[in-house]
Amino acid sequence: MGGGAKMLLEDLFDVKDIDEGGKKFDNISRISAKSQTYDLELTLDVNVEIYPIKVPAVRRCAPNLPFSSV
């Protein structure tokens, strides 16, 4: 990662859709969500057997990997 400032993303996301393009795997769903604070769209593959999600839902996203600002 370059010399840019490092930050972590933490926000609440409104789940808008699950498996929009159709389900491809038995236990995995692709969710589409929109950030409540920032103008961010999130697409995430989730093991719904472990983390069940329904629409509508609000989920906190706080990955432990730093993002570099550009």
3-38: pLDDT as tens digits: 566 667 778 888 899 999 898 899 999 999 898 888
C-alpha distances in Å from residue 38, one per residue of 14, 47, 49, 50, 53: 12, 25, 29, 27, 22
The dihedral formed by the CA atoms of 37, 50, 28 and 23, expressed in degrees to the nearest 10: -90
pTM over 0.85: no
Rg of the Cα atoms in the chain: 14
The full set of domain ranges for the chain reads 14-62
CB 6 within 8 A of CB 65: no
CA distance 42 to 70: 19
